[in-house]
Amino acid sequence: MLEADRTAPKSRPPPGPKRAASPKIVFKPDFARHRKAAPFKRNDMMVAAGLTGVVLFPGNGITPNLGQKAD
């Protein structure tokens, strides 16, 4: 019997972090400059950046605002 015939298959992925192939862009609201309007201004910056798509999760009134602007 060959050594390869007795080798058990591995069910775990190789160690180490897995990284996504696409770069990440962070848009932080500037509360010092825009105060209460900061999240909405951040949404404007995201739409102006010309991103390919937007994924929305349930949230407050700021989330639907982004969905309307991205549409």
| N-term to C-term CA, the chain | 63
Could you read off the pLDDT of 7-19 as tens digits, one per residue? 444 455 566 666 6
Could you read off the pLDDT of 18-48 as tens digits, one per residue? 665 667 788 899 999 999 999 999 999 989 9
Alpha-carbon distances, residue 3 vs 7, 8, 9, 10, 15 (angstroms) = 7, 10, 13, 15, 24
* The predicted structure's pLDDT at residue 2: 47
The pTM of the full predicted model, rounded to 2 decimals, is: 0.62
